[in-house]
Amino acid sequence: MKPRFKKEISYFARVDFRDDCRFFGIHQLDRLTGMYLLGKTNSGKSTTLKTLFYQDMLHNRGACLFDCHGDLLQGVLAILPKHRVQDVILFDATNPNIKLGYNPLKRVSYQKRALIASSILETFQKLWGQQGWGVKLEYILRQVLLLLLDQPNANFGDIPKVLLDEHFRDACLSNIRHPNVLRFWEQEFPKLSGKSDILPVLNKVSGFLSIPIIHKILVENQEQISLRSIIDKKQILLINLSKGSIGSDGVHLLGSLLLTAFSSAGYSRIDTPEDERTPYFLYLDEFQNYTSGSIANALSELRKFKIGYVLAHQYMFQLSTEIRNAVLGNIGTIICFKLGQADAKYMEKEFYPVFTTADFINLHQYHIYLKLLINGKVSQAFSAVTIQHIALREK
């Protein structure tokens, strides 16, 4: 007899204890505390992500997928329910003819401008590395971003203009709202020692703007995606950031900026009563490529605004200590597939006293150990076998 699947539960596995083969999943409210999938390649993570995403599409929930390879995104499109076709928005950064654009400096509320500037700076710092980063560069670039965020119309292409075009810069001063930012441009900037101070900024910003697809998305394209609208309308946003097409730097830059924008869009739901906020779920595959410490912390706060997230990657060494602590300190549900030696030792402590290092290392494909959030409480660790979306379809 086929089990009855409930709409309010997202199913992803079945019990493998003796003759107990019950399907189980996670309640939508518990999903808002986050899910973390860790495991080696080809262990079953993508199948589980696809199974969860399929149910969100099937039950008319809003969801977004960040894909760094493209295969998972194609797999999701292959199982797209017919009644959700009109809700799909494809943001394909690998397509040289992409029509959609995204401007991280557009229509940011005054209260969030400093936060957005800091997040963009953190993205640049990770992109350029510590050797290419300095106190003066950060200070000048922060002031440039804060100036542009105060403008009615601005984009990343205006960063060099602010530094090089005196007439353009002067025209922007009347829109500056914060006195400290205005003081910098009126009193400090004229005293800088010529182009030697601004050359590092110009060199690095011009470097990524010279990449055609990056310039097209961040500067040229006028058809802008509205993440707040996508969230409120429960639409399906599929973001293709394939490394093979746009490179690691492109993945980090676009992924980080879009994730920052999702945080800002989530916070903006403060204007909607809590009981009227519809849940929206972010699927971040290989999230170490575009997640910073501040974004990891922001994700944990977004549960208040009904934004949930599913994080997946291969091994913990991919994360900095800051991001790892932020993720594990705030996540609700942890799902482990087959692990390497180092990760197995770490997870043995998380799953103590149920599973040992050897247990994690010897897991078979599609088998998992997990700690599941159930009605706000974390369960004792147990084992299970993941299922495919096809198992949830009515015969």
pLDDT at residue 194 above 80? Answer: no
Phi and psi, residue 40, nearest 5°? -60, 160
Q: What is the pTM of this model?
A: 0.91
Q: Where are the alpha helices (DSSP H) in the chain?
A: 28-31, 45-58, 71-78, 113-128, 135-149, 158-164, 166-173, 179-183, 195-209, 212-215, 227-232, 243-267, 293-301, 321-330, 341-350, 357-361
Mean pLDDT score of the chain? 91
Instruction: Give the confidence band of 209 by pLDDT, cuts at 50, 70, 90.
Output: confident
Q: For 144-187, how does the pLDDT look when each residue is reduced to its tens digit (9 = 90+)?
A: 999 999 999 999 999 999 999 999 999 999 999 999 999 999 99
Q: Give the CA diameter of the chain.
A: 79
Q: What's the chain's Rg over C-alpha atoms? A: 23
| Of the candidate ranges 90-94, 190-194, 250-254, 273-277, the one whose mean pLDDT is the lowest | 190-194
Please name the residues in contact with 316: beta carbons below 8 A apart, sequence gap of 6 or more. 38, 324, 342, 343, 346
* No. of helices (H) and no. of strands (E), the chain: 16, 15
pLDDT at residue 296 above 80? Answer: no
Give the pLDDT confidence score for residue 193 in this predicted structure: 64
pLDDT at residue 394 above 60? Answer: no
Give me the torsion for CA of 3, 8, 13, 16, rounded to 10°.
Answer: -60
Give the pLDDT confidence score for residue 79 in this predicted structure: 95
Q: For 70-123, how does the pLDDT look when each residue is reduced to its tens digit (9 = 90+)?
A: 899 999 999 999 999 999 999 999 999 999 999 989 888 888 899 889 888 988
